[in-house]
Structure 1
Amino acid sequence: MIIDNPPPLYPVDRFHLVAQNTAAEIIGNTKAPDALVATELLTTMSVVIQGLFDIRLPIGKISPLSLYSLSIAESGERKTAVANLLSTEIRKFDEARRKIFEAALVEYEAQLGIWKAVNAGLSRKLKQLVRDGEPIDQISQELKVHTESKPIKPRYRRILFQDVTERAVMNVLEGDGESISFMSDEGALLIKGGVLAMTATLNKIWDGVSLLSLDRSDDVSVAVRNPRATISCMVQAKVLQKLLDKHGEVMRNSGQWARYIVACPASTQGTRFTLGGEQSWDCLNKFNDRMRELLEEFGRHIDSDTKQRTILEFSDEATYKWFDLSNQIEMRLSPSGDLSDIKDFASKLLETTSRVAGLLHVFSKQEGRISVDTLVRAVDIMGWHLDAFKRVFSLEYATPQEHIDAEKLEQFFYNQCWCMGIAIILRNDVLRNGPVRPAWRLNAAMNCLIAERRISIFMGNKKEHYVMLNDAYFHSLHLPIRQIG
């Protein structure tokens, strides 16, 4: 994984006007990285649209408009500020649905009390007729009708989730056409809570599976039909690396990461100067107006128990362009092609691009079928994310082992030597007590530090080798003292 070299600027101008201006306004006001803002904007659009629309690909497949996103950004990059600004209307929607649920629950409890009283009366009457040897046909029919009229407990339908188990997810999605999201500006919550470990379930939901089922221990089977889910995970690089070290191979081989749009923007810290004055949020207000329109429509779908989604299609010109893009991707998968090392992501690239085109089409209130202009905009946006995926997951950009070892070794020299007043240490002691083994890996790591003039090697009288720390370099460091592992 490499995030040191700055990526190109995010193509914010490829969004349509309202989304484009909103992204620019948030970037300008918060000074957060452009890709962090733009990626969160895309997934926010996915949250409010996925429950209302699907898209038919030119090959005939019906695909959700759901996105999974992974944004890698360190602490202090204003992830929380960005997430809060863009999720305002979703959180308001959830709060409004909570109030509706609470009112419905009060009514349910009252009706259930009445139902239970009537049920008890009918049951007593049935028992009395049985004891007296009287006919029970009429009372049995009344009891059957009454049983069928038992009040149904209302469900609290909210959109935003973070720390939930797989069973809880299935319970939330139970039924037909439910739509939720997992969004966190602290991705560790999604990782520790186990959301990202639900590999098979998340893959099927992204694919648009028509039926998922879970047999619970209480002999009750949960059936989930046509679910939709969006994921937005903002995570620090070290937290992500721990996940990759533990589950990375499974997640990659299962195709889960191939379903994510990835962002690894350059840090803006140290450049976020302000001129003072009151910030304007006119563009964000217009964005929120559109969000509210879509959420209100989704709320009407919930209230009317509407399960059918509108299916978007491409125009003839866009369809021709789509197949041309498909052929281009296929050529790039050859052994000498630039996609040969990320075939998993490339296999989903055109479908994800189509989803982005669908989101742009709906959010910008375009009518009819998706135009070739909107498709090309989506292609440009996904081109940026393709580059980001390669930077994170391609072996071409993988950090060489000797550089990883050199970082650990430098930390060891700082903690265990420099901070202890030791500037010279026997090489064999470094091998014996340090963080890098075997000897050939230690030599490679030390060569990296020598090349950077951070250490030097000299030979003693008995031909033993010593490591000398560069006083000027280590004096300039202010590293946190931590355990090496």
Structure 2
Amino acid sequence: MLPPLAAAAARAVCARVTEACPALVRTHLLSVLSSAVAPLYVVSPPNWTPIPIGVNTLCIADVGGSKSPVHECMIQPLRDHTRDSFARYEVARAEASAASTEQKFHIKLLKAEIARCLRKQEPAQELLATLAELHRTAAAVPKHRPRLASNLDLESLLHQLDGEYEAVDFLTDEGDKLLSSSLMRHVSDLVDLIDGKPLEFRREKKKHLYASQPRGTFGLLAQSAAIEPFRPRCKRNEYTEHKTVRLGFFARFLVCVAQPSPMGNRYAPAGDDDEALSNLHEALKELYDLHQDNQEAGGIAPIELAFAPDALGYWEELCRITQNLKFGQLAHITDFVSKMLNLTARLAAVFHVWESQTHYVSISCLERAWDLVFWHAAQYELVFVPPPPLPQQEDDVEAVIEHLAAHRFSIDYKEVPTEHIGLLLGLPSNRLRAALLRMEQRGLIELCGGKTTFINCMKMFSRSRNITWR
């Protein structure tokens, strides 16, 4: 699925962290790959306006799922970039301070010279023009671009994105911090950030903040407890969705639920694992530095990608498939299905950028991207659209069956008293009788004497006979 450079690095991570789920490694790596190229490119599917190529991921793993070791293997280039960007900012700020001091000194000298000319009634038009030019020439204010987000509120987020083509990356192995932060009160702004729409923050006594074509990448590793508040709540046999889910925030993510591997992921270390990781880190560092150089040079518009001619037919087929899925097989996750084409185009563009230097996304990248997005649809369903709970009546039947199965070796199948079953399960007599009657209707038990006081469970535990036709 992954580009060769990323695939080698993913295998190296799996071999180094043997407890990690390979699907978690792959999914989190997609957000890391995306963070490096998202500010530099956009993609234009047929008849669409250009869209960002950022891919956002949410990986859910409980304690022992090796979230932190996997994250540490991938995040080092961005951390180094954040540290180096602060050093560059300090140097630029010192230079800007020196330039500002020099400009103020020139202005002071010009004012003194103009005052002297006026006292002696000498012409001072040229000096006044020079002074006006100095006042109009504002010194460039350096901007700190750490990229890696940490403990941001909405104002500090907009301060980091203020300008054009700025980027921020929420890549963390402690996704619960973001999901419980004040930013989650501004889901609409986060959705606009993912979609690359302008963001604005008005302040009374300070300069307004405005982000034009911002880029934000989310790569969250979190425990299931951090996601629990966003899961639907069942009330009166109906699910109520959380506002964040209704607004489509998580539908823009590739969700992955890590599967525990008691015997490890079975990836064996190879001799070139360190080289594979170092190659990925070098490529990431170059892309992070390229974006910062572009911003310090005044901002350069992203490169526009398009689909190759042989991929256009496949894209039309995907449009037809998603339309059918929306009203058919996946109608219960319409919010995710409506974003599948967008996610596929973004992911295909990310694959292409890491594989090729051309500006045309190949059909191979598009096919692999669709396969991955379709796989993540089931993961999204598992987390945010679980099956509805059983009705109370069916739940009672299941409880009685489980109790009888657990005690099958210590009871007399032909005559089982039911009073203690209701007491042990905490079922009122009317619900217990209703459950036993349903079991009788389904041929699982027989009532002794036509009453529910004693039941015959021979049918439940009788062994089936294998008849061979000769």
What TM-score do the two structures reach when normalised by structure 1? 0.75
Let me know the Cα RMSD of the aligned residues.
3.5
Shift of 1:133: 9.4
Deviation per CA, 1:398-418: give whole Å up to 9, x if none: 36378xxxxxxxxxxxxxxxx
Is 1:290–1:363's contact at 8 Å kept on the other side of the alignment? no
Could you tell me whether the CA contact under 8 Å between 1:77 and 1:269 is conserved in 2? no
Aligned to 2:175: 187
Partner of 1:225: 212
**Among 338, 347, 368, the residue aligned to 1:347:** 338
Residue 357 of structure 1 aligns with an amino acid whose one-letter code is A
Other structure's SS at 1:163 match: coil
1:217 Cα deviation (Å)?
A: 2.5
After TM superposition, give the deviation of residue 449 of structure 1 in Å. Answer: 7.2
- 2:318 is matched with 325
Secondary structure class of the residue paired with 2:228: helix
Following TM superposition, by how much is the alpha carbon of 1:352 offset from its aligned partner in structure 2, in angstroms? 0.5
Find the counterpart in structure 2 of residue 235 from structure 1.
222
Structure 2: which 5+ runs fail to align?
A: 234-239, 412-416, 427-470
Q: Does 1:107 align with 2:95?
A: yes
1:338-397, Cα deviation, whole Å (9 max, x unpaired): 210111111110111111110110112353411111111111111211111111122xx3
- How many Å separate the matches in 2 of 1:225 and 1:123? 39
Structure-2 separation of matches of 1:18 and 1:374? 15
Q: Which of 61, 65, 75 matches 2:53?
A: 65
| CA deviation vs aligned residue, 1:401-442 (integer Å, no higher than 9, x gap) | 78xxxxxxxxxxxxxxxxxxxxxxxxxxxxxxxxxxxx9999
Counterparts of 1:441 and 1:113, CA distance in 2 = 80
- Which residue among 159, 163, 185 is the counterpart of 2:151? 163
Q: CA deviation at 1:195?
A: 3.3
- Is 1:400 aligned with 2:389? yes
- Are residues 1:307 and 2:300 paired? yes
2: CA distance between counterparts of 1:204 and 1:303? 25
What is the CA–CA distance in structure 2 between the aligned matches of 1:194 and 1:219, rounded to whole Å? Answer: 21
Following superposition, the deviation at residue 201 of structure 1 comes to: 1.2
Q: Which amino acid aligns with 2:30?
A: L
Q: Does residue 257 of structure 1 match 2:250?
A: yes
Match of 2:142 among 154, 166, 173: 154
* Residues 182, 274 of structure 1: alpha-carbon distance in 2 compared, 3 angstrom cutoff: closer
Amino acid at match of 2:64: G
* Alpha-carbon contact 1:29-1:279 (below 8 Å) kept: no
Deviation at 1:277, TM superposition (A): 10
Choose 55-64 or 108-117, whichever is displaced more: 108-117
After TM superposition, the score normalised by the length of structure 2 is: 0.78
The alignment covers a number of residue pairs equal to: 411
Conserved? CA contact 2:164–2:211, under 8 Å: yes
For the Cα contact (< 8 Å) 1:213–1:223, is it kept in 2?
yes
User: 1:196-255 deviations in whole A, cap 9, x for unaligned?
Assistant: 44311121122232x322211325322211111101111110111024479952112111
CA contact under 8 A between 2:11 and 2:267: conserved in structure 1? no
Give the equivalent residue in structure 2 for 1:200.
188
Residues 311 and 459 (structure 1), Cα distance of their counterparts in 2 relative to 1, 3 Å cut: same
Cross-structure match for 1:56:
44
Alignment CA distance shift 1:242-1:83 (3 Å):
same
- Which residue pairs with 1:214 in the alignment? 201
Preserved contact between residue 26 and residue 82 of structure 1 (Cα < 8 Å): yes
Give CA deviations for 1:48-68 in whole Å, capped at 9, x if unaligned.
001111101112320101122
Corresponding residue for 2:80? 92
- The DSSP-based 3-state class of the residue aligned with 1:49 is helix
Would you say 1:267 and 2:255 are equivalent positions? no
1:320 deviates by: 0.9
